Structure 1
Amino acid sequence: MTLGRAGWPLALWPVLALAQAPGWETRVVELAPAMRACLATRPGGMVVAAWEAERGLTMARLLLPGGAREDCLAHPNGMLVERREAVAEADRRPDEALRAFMLERRCVDAWRVVDEAGRELGWLAYPGCG
């Protein structure tokens, strides 16, 4: 299933509406360059939350292999700005367990994320997928 600018496939909206309100995943194409920059040097990592930060930058919460978390600040053009290591358990966001963005497909029910030109940006799934 392909996921593009419109967000989630329309067939899934009734299910998603019952499960949770849509979050950052509805802007996954827009946020992808920043998230890709954050994941570029973190093999096996995945973004479990993303939000707008100061100065128009994107903050991405990464879940790394082994369970460690870190925050990564990146420019929407894909330039890495800063990493903030070791996010404490008490600082977890409530939406972290709902969805995940990753660079490679790790499970069969992951959705392919593409830009307007059809280039693959990554995959959207759930954190347990990886």
Structure 2
Amino acid sequence: MKKNLSLIAYISLALALLNQIFVISFAKLIFKKVNKVELDEMSYIIIIIAVIFLTIIGIIATLFIFKNTVKSSFVGSIILITLGVMLLPTIFGFTWIFGVINIICGILMITVGAIHLKTSREYL
């Protein structure tokens, strides 16, 4: 992957992973402040499972992009697009504060993955 594309991918992945850590830390507190209702345990468990799943996929994408061979960055860009698509509907599951950051990161990941797939498909 080109340096400028990989830099954007690293920044968006780091921001998304940091946002997932913030979701785990502050989900109950922010939900209570915004909605004036306590978040029930089942919803919190679903949020934690979704965050862990998104974090694992983000780490896998980082490893594939960091390896920086043609085939691994190709797989990494496909994983980036997948992660970007999965981050888009999180505004409905999490509060809007975390959802907006996830949408921005998702759009960045989809864009970087699509640009890389378009420019590198002749090398495969």
Q: TM-score, normalised by structure 2?
A: 0.26
Q: TM-score, normalised by structure 1?
A: 0.26
Which of the two has higher C-alpha Rg?
Answer: 2
More helix by share: 2
Higher relative contact order (CA 8 A, sep 6+): 2
